[in-house]
Amino acid sequence: MAEDSVRFTGKVITRAKKTGWGEPRTGHAVVRLSATPIAGKANTALKKFLANSFAPSPSSVHIEHGANSRIKLIRVDRPGRVPSQIHR
């Protein structure tokens, strides 16, 4: 992992009314997505949301573990900013 990366565990809640940060849970940042978890749509929406939140390009967002799970280990390379919902 590069020194200029942020790594965190996130819980993804799909089929939400709107996409955004949720209330943090023990040890996890929470992201609510309006996308459905079918055919990778939720993971694509997650990467796009995190790219907008951290200000890198979508190719800088990586799901390192849990691509088919609600709990994911996420890495963002070269973030322009770190949202307050992420505790380093």
- Per-residue model confidence as pLDDT tens for the chain (88 residues): 556 899 999 999 999 999 999 998 888 999 999 999 998 999 999 999 999 999 988 899 999 999 999 999 999 999 999 998 887 5
AA identity, residue 13? I
pTM to 2 decimal places: 0.90
CATH, residue 47: 3.30.1200.10
Domain total in the chain? 1
| Measured distance CA(66)–CA(11) in Å, rounded | 10
In a domain, 51, yes or no: yes
Whether the CB-CB separation of 14 and 42 falls below 8 Å is answered with: yes
In a domain, 35, yes or no: yes
In a domain, 12, yes or no: yes
AA identity, residue 8? F
Residue 72's nearest CA partner among 31, 33, 40, 17 is 31
Segments forming the whole domain that contains residue 12: 5-77
